[in-house]
Structure 1
Amino acid sequence: MSSFTISPTLNKDKVFILNLSQVEHRLDPNFYRQIFKDNIEKIKANNYKRIGEVVKFSNETWNQKDFFSSTFPYIEISEIDTLSGDIKNLSEVDIADAPSRAKMIVRENDIIVSTTRPNRGAISFVKRENDFSIASTGFAVIRSLTTEEFDKEYLFAVLRQKFSLLQLEQRSSGGNYPAITQDELSNVVIPIPNKSIQEKVKAIFNTCFELKSKNEATAANILRSIDTYLLQELGITLPTPPENILTNRMFTVSMNEISGKRFDPAYHQVYFHKLVASIVNSKYKSRRIGEEINEINYGASFTNDYVESGVPLLRIKDLRRNEIVIDKVVFLPEIARKLLGNSFVKQNDFLISRSGTIGVVSLVSKEIDGFAFGSFMIKFNLKSDKVLNREFLSYYLNCKLLIDLIERDKIGAIQGNITIPIIKSLLVPVPPLDKQKEIADHITGIRKQAQQLKDKTKELLKKASEEIEEILLN
Structure 2
Amino acid sequence: MEQYKLPSHNNSDKVFIVNRSELEGRIDPYFFKKEFDVISDKLSHIETLPLKKVSVKIFSGITPLSGGDSYTDRENGIAFIRSGDYSEDNIIDFSSTNYITTSVHNGIMSSSKIKKGDLLIAIVGATIGKVGIYNYDEEANINQAICAIRLKEQFIPEFIHIYLLTALGQKILDRLKRPVARANINLEEISSIQIPQITRTRQKEVVDFYYNKIDLKQQKEAEAKALLDSIDNYLLGELGITLPEKDDSLQKRVFTAQFSEIGGGRLDPLSLKNNISDFLTGKYKEKKIKEIALNFKSGFGAGKQDQVLDDSGIIQIRPTNIDEQGTLKFDKNVYLPVDNSYNGSDFINVDDILFNNTNSQEWVGKTAILKEQQQLLFSNHITKIVVNKEVAVPDYIWLILNSYQKNKIFYSICTNWNNQSGVGLDLLRSLPIPIPPLEKQNEIAQHIQSLREQAKQLQNDAKAILEQAKKDVEQMILG
Alignment correspondent of 1:142: 147
Correspondence for 1:22 = 22
Indicate yes or no: 2:123 matched with 1:111.
Answer: no
Matched, 1:437 2:439: no
Q: CA deviation at 1:63?
A: 2.0
Report the equivalent of 2:468. Answer: 463
CA change 1:280–1:106 in 2 (3 A) is farther
Q: Is the 8 A contact 1:118 1:169 kept in 2?
A: no
Give, in whole Å, the separation in 1 of the partners of 2:206 and 2:306: 41
Structure 2 matches for 1:184-333, cutoff 5 A? Answer: 184-241=189-246, 243-269=247-273, 272=274, 275-276=276-277, 278-291=278-291, 292=293, 294-297=295-298, 300=301, 302=303, 308-309=309-310, 312-320=315-323, 321-330=325-334
CA separation of 1:360/1:74 partners in 2, compared to 1, >3 Å: closer, same or farther? Answer: farther
CA distance in 2, matches of 1:134, 1:417: 31
Q: Report the equivalent of 1:101.
A: none
In 1, Cα distance between the equivalents of 2:80 and 2:384? 29
Structure 1 counterpart of 2:476, which letter?
I
240 and 461 in structure 1: CA distance in 2 versus 1, 3 angstrom threshold: same
Give the direction of change, closer, same or farther, for the CA distance of 1:80–1:281 in structure 2 (3 Å limit).
same
Per-residue deviation, 1:27: 5.7
Which position in structure 2 is the counterpart of 1:102? Answer: none
3-state SS of the aligned residue for 1:56? strand
Residues 371 and 125 of structure 1: CA distance in aligned 2, closer, same or farther (over 3 Å): farther
Name 2:376's counterpart in structure 1.
370
| Number of residue equivalences | 442
Could you tell me the percent identity over the aligned residues?
25
Shift of 1:223: 0.9
Say whether the 8 Å CA contact 2:51–2:195 is kept in structure 1. yes
**Contact map agreement 2:369 2:398 (CA 8 A) in 1:** yes
The letter of the residue matching 1:380 is K
Q: Aligned letter for 1:399?
A: S
Q: Is 1:350–2:354 an aligned residue pair?
A: yes
SS in 2 for 1:399: helix
Q: Would you say the 8 A contact 1:388–1:430 is kept in 2?
A: yes
Instruction: Give 1:36-47 correspondences, 5 Å limit.
Output: 36-47=36-47
Please give the residue correspondences for 1:372-391 in structure 2 after superposition, counting only pairs within 5 Å. Answer: 372-373=378-379, 377-382=381-386, 384-391=388-395
Match of 2:171 in 1: 166
One-letter identity of the residue aligned with 1:363:
I
1:288–1:428 CA contact under 8 A, matched in 2: yes
1:262–1:300 Cα change, 3 Å: same
RMSD: 4.7
In 1, Cα distance between the equivalents of 2:333 and 2:46? 39
Which amino acid in 1 is paired with 2:396?
A: F
Q: Which residue number in structure 2 is paired with residue 398 of structure 1?
A: 402
- AA paired with 1:250? V
Equivalent residues of 1:319, 1:353 under 8 A apart: no
Given that 2:353 and 2:367 are in contact with CA atoms closer than 8 Å, whether structure 1 keeps it comes out as: no
TM-score by length of 1: 0.75
Q: Which whole-Å CA distance do the structure 2 matches of 1:460 and 1:470 have between them?
A: 15
- The answer to whether the 8 A contact 1:351-1:364 is kept is no
1:342-369: CA deviation from partner (whole Å, max 9, x where unpaired): 9965242413253223222112465774
- 8 Å Cα contact 2:353/2:394 also seen in 1: no
Q: Distance in 1 between matches of 2:44 and 2:50?
A: 10
Provide closer, same or farther for how the CA distance between residues 74 and 330 of structure 1 changes in structure 2, counting only shifts above 3 A.
Answer: farther
Q: State the Cα distance separating 1:418 from its structure 2 match.
A: 2.8
Is the Cα–Cα contact under 8 Å of residues 358 and 422 in structure 2 kept in the other structure?
Answer: yes
8 Å CA contact 1:288–1:427 kept in 2: the answer is: yes
CA distance in 1, matches of 2:334, 2:47: 41
Residues 1:207 and 1:415: Cα distance change in structure 2 (over 3 Å): farther
Q: In structure 2, which of residues 67, 73, 76 is the aligned counterpart of residue 65 of structure 1?
A: 67
The answer on whether the counterparts of 1:74 and 1:90 sit within 8 Å (CA) in structure 2 is no
The CA distance in 2 between the partners of 1:365 and 1:85, in whole Å, is 35
Maintained 8 Å contact 1:223/1:446: yes
With the length of structure 2 as denominator, give the TM-score of the two structures: 0.74
> Counterparts of 2:131 and 2:416 in 1: how far apart (Å)?
36
Classify 1:57/1:76 alpha carbon distance in 2 versus 1 (closer, same or farther; 3 Å).
Answer: closer
For the residue of structure 1 that corresponds to 2:290, the secondary structure is helix
Q: 1:293 to 1:124 in 2, by over 3 A?
A: farther
Change (3 A) 1:229 1:250: same
Partner of 1:96: none
Post-superposition offset of 1:23: 4.1
Q: Per the alignment, in what secondary structure is the counterpart of residue 423 of structure 1?
A: helix
Seen in structure 2, the aligned counterparts of structure 1 residues 251 and 88 have a Cα distance that, compared at 3 Å, is: closer
Deviation (angstroms), 1:445: 0.8
Q: Structure 1 residue 461: deviation in Å?
A: 0.8
The offset of 1:162, in angstroms, is 1.2
**Shift of the alpha carbon at 1:56?**
1.4
Letter of the 1:46 counterpart: I
1:438 Cα offset (Å): 2.3
Inter-CA distance 262–317: structure 2 relative to 1 (3 Å threshold): same
How far the C-alpha of 1:217 sits from its partner, in A, is: 1.6
Instruction: Specify the code of the residue in structure 2 equivalent to 1:391.
Output: D
Pair 413,213 (structure 1): closer, same or farther in 2 beyond 3 Å: farther
Q: 1:92 to 1:29 in 2, by over 3 A?
A: closer
Structure 1: give runs of 5+ residues left out of the alignment.
94-104
Q: CA deviation at 1:35?
A: 5.7
Contact 1:323 1:363 in 2 (8 A): yes
Q: Cα 1:63–1:165, aligned 2, differ >3 Å: closer, same or farther?
A: same
Q: 1:84 to 1:265 in 2, by over 3 A?
A: same
Cα 1:28–1:250 shift into 2, 3 Å: closer
